[in-house]
Structure 1
């Protein structure tokens, strides 16, 4: 086991700092209602599920869009508007509406207090494949570096995005720890780039055993993460 004292702690966002599924579900419901008001031709033709299916089909055709899920949504919406004969002038407004609702997240109760304590121990950063806006959410001040796949051009688990975040923070990969909920994107991705990885596993899943993945630590809460980091800092 590697007990090297970490210099930086980097985080995934969705389903690590807050639950995302209910937020996206509510955002898409609100988004569809907005479209019904401003571009009824679209919603008369496509349900929420059908618009989602169109995005997934587009992603299969254009896998490079995985790095920017907003662009994926926009391109799919542009196609839906064109097919339905709706006024494309409303696309910008539709995207603004979704952005606002998508950022209406509520961090897990243990996250904000733990971030404040972790920030006092070492430098914090973010690597995300999503499009959360930390300034809107109110957590930007905790992080030295925020690297999103949409800006970088590569998405997790590509090692280059982990290495770029470490370079931006001025730390070697072996001196950084990544925290995330996804075994492939977060744990394997970070370890493949030379970082240590903590699996944030609030549900007590044993999926890592079936997947043959060995996180450097498994934490069920941010309180447990804070305790683990404090232990590492003593080495």
Structure 2
């Protein structure tokens, strides 16, 4: 078995909890709409916009690959229905995007990334739209691949291979770490990577793996990942 030269991370719910972040961002956006585009809030709610996004995702794969386009499309529809200038949508998106990147990493994340980057190359692969520069952790990663930038999303093997290519490593030399058994673990393994499932009990994950999914490792936090690398790969000690 090849030694591990690189570790790739999922972002949302792997490095930080995402549900409270999105909920807060949507509330801030809706408050902005009430102040600057009140007729929109007379026609839609946070819940109805969420339902519309789900409909669009089910109707066209492009919305699964680019969550920014998805959210912007729903806002454009709402502004048009209210008879408002759709140029305000860009301002609304800025409000949401700023709040969406105000995340708080789990306590283990920054210490683990600091330790790991001296042992292996680090990268990220995400279907989301997190801005690592805005969050302040871009310097830990030598490659960051996002679905909306390359036109394919997990579990497509191409997105994993894009990250490996960016780091100059073979899939077999790469460990992928993520919280979703299908998108992250199964997807990475089918792409030829090794895959670790992170199951963070502190955010209520504590899930059961599907019977057909067998991760190469299971962690509750990134400190356990550090120890696993030390125990299983001499090159990362």
The answer to whether TM tops 0.5 is yes
Runs of 4+ with >3 A deviation = none
TM-superposition CA deviations, 1:164-217 (whole Å, max 9, x none): 111111000000000000001000010000000000111273521x44210000
In the alignment, does 2:217 pair up with 1:217?
yes
Mapped partners of 2:32, 2:16: distance in 1: 25
Preserved CA contact (<8 Å) 2:124 2:145? yes
More off after superposition, 82-91 vs 21-30: 82-91
Report the alpha carbon displacement of residue 87 of structure 1 after superposing the two structures with TM.
Answer: 2.0
Mapped partners of 1:36, 1:232: distance in 2: 55
Mapped partners of 1:48, 1:99: distance in 2: 16
What does residue 114 of structure 1 align with? Answer: 112
CA RMSD of aligned residues (A): 1.2
SS at match of 1:35: helix
SS at match of 2:42: helix
In the alignment, does 2:43 pair up with 1:45?
yes
What does residue 59 of structure 1 align with? Answer: 57
TM-superposition CA deviations, 1:95-133 (whole Å, max 9, x none): 001000000100000100000001011000000000000
Unaligned ranges ≥5, structure 1: none
Which among 178, 181, 184 is matched to residue 183 of structure 1?
A: 181
Mapped partners of 1:202, 1:88: distance in 2: 40
SS at match of 2:218: strand
TM-score using structure 1 length: 0.96
Which among 168, 171, 174 is matched to residue 172 of structure 2?
A: 174
Mapped partners of 2:9, 2:66: distance in 1: 18
Unaligned ranges ≥5, structure 2: none
Alignment size in residue pairs? 232
Mapped partners of 2:8, 2:216: distance in 1: 14
